[in-house]
Every structure is written in C-alpha cells, then in structure tokens.
Amino acid sequence: MKLIASLTSPYARKVRIVLQEKRIECPLTVDIPWNADTKVGELNPLGKVPVLVLDDGSTLFDSRVIVEYLDHVSPVTRLIPHDYRHAVQVKRWEALADGICDAAASIFLERKRSEAQQSADWIARQEVKISRGLQALAEDLGERNWCNGESYSLADIAVGVCLGYLDLRFAHIAWRNDYPNLARLADKLAQRPAFADTVPQA
C-alpha cells in the first residue's frame, strides 16, 4: 500500500493524519497533479490527489473514500463511530470542512490565472462559501471539547485540516479572531503528533 499525494493538499493531509492516528505504515510518494511529468492521471482518472494504491494494484480515491477504508482496516483509534447516526454526523462535519477547502482551492487556482482571465464574481461566490462554512463550523462546535461531542474523531481531523489550509493559503482571513472556539480546537489539534508532523509549507 502506498499514498500518492501533494504535501500542500488539505485532502492528502487528512489522509496522512488518519494513517498516523491509525498507526498504519504507508509509504508516501509526492506527485503534483499540475506538473507536466505527473503520473496521477494514470492512477485516478480525475487527475486528483490523494490516491491510495492498494497491495493488489487497485486504487482508492477521493480522500473521503480513503479515510473510511483506513478506519475499517485497522481497529486502532476508531475515527468514525460504529453507530450509524453518529457516523453520519461525523461525515457531515467532514463534508462541510472539505467544502470550505473546495472553495478555498478554487480561489487559489483562479488567482493563478492571468488577471484578465480571473472572474471576480466567481471568487466572490467562493468567498461567501468560506465565510458561511466557517460560521457553521463555529456554531456547530459551540463550547464542546470535540466536534462530535466528547471524543476525537474524523470530524476534528477534517476541521483541523480545513483551518490549516486557510492559514496556508488565506492568512488574511481572521477566523481565529472571529471564532475563538475554532481557534481553541485548532490549538489543541496542533499538539497532536499527527498534525504537527503534517503541517504544510507554502
């Protein structure tokens, strides 16, 4: 088994954190989908990372599929609850956090285009998604210790990765000032080795 990933991808970081929390040894191959020599398209027809290559040569994508698979192959540190209702809530947190990352990544890519080609309306639409998404995360978290209640789960990993990606690409967004409860969660997560070992560098 090996993981194909970019070190700045929030989705790949989510998988890397899950691998570490689950104590699963898995070699990492760095491949940037935007590079001319990328091999990602040969493993994932959508040309996206992360991709998990299994021992039989088959592949899994995207990150939500990969982390659910990993949570089932190792009994260590269950990250998605067995109870269906609680599991759905964890996956909802993940969907919201990933959606914020989707919007942020969309802006990042749009701004890589020439200024004449960029769409201000498109960027503004994505910014609204980020703003509303952060507000929803903060409201759902409230004063709880962890996203899904009293125990650490995939929900916390997804939210922590999302906030880390905003710090990496959109440092001007003052989410720590606007949502102190998210800041407290992020600071707590930063103390975990799996988060500390996977901090992305610009």
Strand 28-30 vs strand 51-53: parallel, antiparallel, or unpaired?
Answer: unpaired
pLDDT digits (tens, 9 = 90+) for 131-187: 999 999 999 999 999 999 889 999 999 999 999 999 999 999 999 999 999 999 999
CATH for 61: 3.40.30.10
Give me 73's structure tokens.
């192959």
Domain count for the chain: 2
Do 92 and 160 share a domain, yes or no? yes
Residue 199 lies in a domain: no
Do 90 and 185 share a domain, yes or no? yes
For position 150, what pLDDT does the model report? 82
Do 106 and 63 share a domain, yes or no? no
User: Which residue, of 43, 73, 103, is where some domain finishes?
Assistant: 73
Measured from the Cβ of residue 175, the count of other Cβ atoms closer than 10 Å reads 22
Give me 98's structure tokens.
């990933």
Provide the domain limits for residue 52. Answer: 2-73
Do 68 and 111 share a domain, yes or no? no
Residue 29: pLDDT band by 50, 70, 90 thresholds? Answer: very high
User: Which residue, of 30, 45, 73, is where some domain finishes?
Assistant: 73
Residue 25 lies in a domain: yes
**pTM of the complete model:** 0.97
Residue 197 lies in a domain: no
pLDDT digits (tens, 9 = 90+) for 62-111: 999 999 999 999 988 999 999 999 999 999 999 999 999 999 999 999 99
User: Which residue, of 54, 73, 92, is where some domain finishes?
Assistant: 73
Do 11 and 111 share a domain, yes or no? no
Do 127 and 33 share a domain, yes or no? no
Residue 8 lies in a domain: yes
Residue 201 lies in a domain: no
Residue 186 lies in a domain: yes
